[in-house]
Structure 1
Amino acid sequence: MTDSARLLKQHSFVELGARQRARALLDEGSFRELIDPFERLVSPWLAKQGVVPQSDDGVVIAKGSIAGKPVVVCAIEGGFQGGSMGEVGGAKMAGALELAAEDNRKGIPTAAILLLETGGVRLQEANLGLAAIAEIHAAIVDLRRHQPVIGVVAGSVGCFGGMSIAAGLCSYLVVTQEARLGLNGPQVIEQEAGIEEYDSRDRPFIWSLTGGEQRFASGLVDAYVADDTVAISQQIKDLLRQGRPEHERSSRYALFLERLGGLDTTAQIDPAAVRSLYQGEQP
């Protein structure tokens, strides 16, 4: 059995590492990693702060094809520093997206798949990480003018912080039930607003507000699939086949702002109110 076939046979996509996820999505034999761990490109800042670096800085970049179409896959390893984005990992992702856009301008129709398991900026690298994330945002906006940029949030880290903005800029978003998506993570909200407002230990409550099913019902993502490698792979193929959306979700910001303007902030939000709000229903 080939490597890709073996990975596709495995039921859970969430349980795969970043490199395995990228390999599972790409056509058999097309996986080619760029700046792999043997390049020994590590963060120059982590060791200075007593943190052991990782030789790929927690970001896997692979070129290949999906259903014969050229793609670049940027997969974040949630198991390393919570999938946080630093200078090196962010530069790898931004550079890959910029090169994909350049491919399109040269007549090579390259799309991008972003596997987002990230808490956002790496606190140990602060402004350098923020700058890298800003470059990722710009690169997504540039590339999506040519080919779809598909984001996948599978679990279990979720997608938060500046990288949730990257997710929002994607042409399409795919989530599982295990996924979470939000600007601020539960612990940050609890720290700033208090446990009465948001208990970060209340997992059912958190998933009911920021989980994949809720985000899909609220119209903030495009596809809600089971944690199944084959199902996720097929969903990505279907979206690639659709091509670029007629209207990017981020271009509809006025609609979302109008709906958020009707939010009653005097009471704690509940899942039903969130769905009604985003679906445009009157409270």
Structure 2
Amino acid sequence: MSDSARLLQQRSFIELSARQRARALLDSGTFRELIDPFARVMSPWLERQGVVPQADDGVVVGKGLVADKPVVIAAIEGAFQGGSLGEVSGAKIAGLLELAAEDNRNGVPTAAVLLLETGGVRLQEANLGLAAIADIHAAIVDLRQYQPVIGVVAGSVGCFGGMSIAAGLCSHLLVTREARLGLNGPQVIEQEAGIEEYDSRDRPFIWSLTGGEQRFASGLVDGYVQDDAEQIQQQVSQWLQQGLPAQIRSRQSGFYLQRLAALDAQPQVDAGQVRALFKGEQA
């Protein structure tokens, strides 16, 4: 099959809404949404600050099957408030992960899939959002001792802030070429360090350092696929079949701290230097 014919057959994952992404990854007919929009559980803080709230607070959570294996799934809607998390949306994800951990303790082996399109904490909810994200971190660490927690960053929002830490805690992490992953977003870095250090308008430069292809080449994520719902579903299914990874990346802090200590931060680094740095090679 030619490349053009293959592209025509692909179904873009990025173009789907959060709810559509969740359904696309689960076995047909198995998705059961929890706390759906009709429950009207939304942020009590946004309207007070002149922001129109959303009935699901920008997060879709549910249960279903992937290749006949029980999973919980959370999908963040990047189109609502930049995918930022507040008190309610963060609690929905944390509660979902805690529910999965409880299932495992009761003899039901339930894994988790997190679809991460988020800028991190919602500024309008500040400390409440930070507390919720901390609960998500704790819940991931709890659940991943039983079953895999799989993170997917597809695009176009990327995954930043406290939720980039959540991504780093996942058992497996999957990205596309359009994805971005970093602790601080480009505009935040530019604001704090200056445009000479980081020009947020220079898209090729930004993707060369934080884009999905670069993160995969640097060994900071586990999988790299095209923007295709079927490819993403296949990789998620494969990891679920494999079970727990032999080694969790977040437990390799000693290696990464050693590599960062060897970095000369004075000159502007490029993509090749970053890849060599994290792979333990000579830059």
Normalised TM-score (structure 1): 0.96
CA-CA distance at 1:176 after TM superposition: 0.1
Check if 1:42 corresponds to 2:45. Answer: no
Which blocks of at least 5 consecutive residues in structure 1 are unaligned? 1-8
Alignment-derived partner of residue 171 in structure 1: 171
> How far apart, in 1, do the equivalents of 2:200 and 2:133 lie?
25
CA shift digits 1:58-88 (9 cap, x unpaired): 0000100000000000100000000000000
Taking the TM superposition and a 5 Å limit, the aligned residue runs for 1:1-283 are: 11-283=11-283
Aligned to 1:3: none
How far off its partner does 1:93 sit? Answer: 0.3
Number of aligned residue pairs: give it. 275
Name the SS for the 2:252 alignment partner: helix
Q: Which amino acid aligns with 1:44?
A: P
The one-letter amino acid paired with 1:139 is: A
Aligned to 1:256, the other structure's residue is in SS state helix
- Note the residue ranges of structure 2 that are not aligned, 5 or more in a row: 1-8
SS in 1 for 2:74: strand
> 1:71 is paired with a residue of what secondary structure?
strand
Aligned partner letter, 1:99: L
Q: Percent identity?
A: 75
After the TM superposition, which segments of 4 or more aligned residues of structure 1 sit over 4 Å from their partners?
none
Q: Distance in 1 between matches of 2:27 and 2:270?
A: 42
Cα deviations by residue, 1:99-121 (Å, 9 ceiling, x for unpaired)? 10000000000000000000000
> Counterpart of 2:229 in structure 1: which amino acid?
T
d(CA) in 1 for partners of 2:84, 2:14: 17
Name the counterpart of 2:3: none
Q: 1:29 deviation in Å?
A: 1.0
TM-score (norm 2): 0.96
How far apart are residue 242 of structure 1 and its match? 0.8
SS of equivalent to 1:114: strand
Between the aligned partners of 1:22 and 1:94, the Cα distance in structure 2 is 17
AA paired with 2:155? G
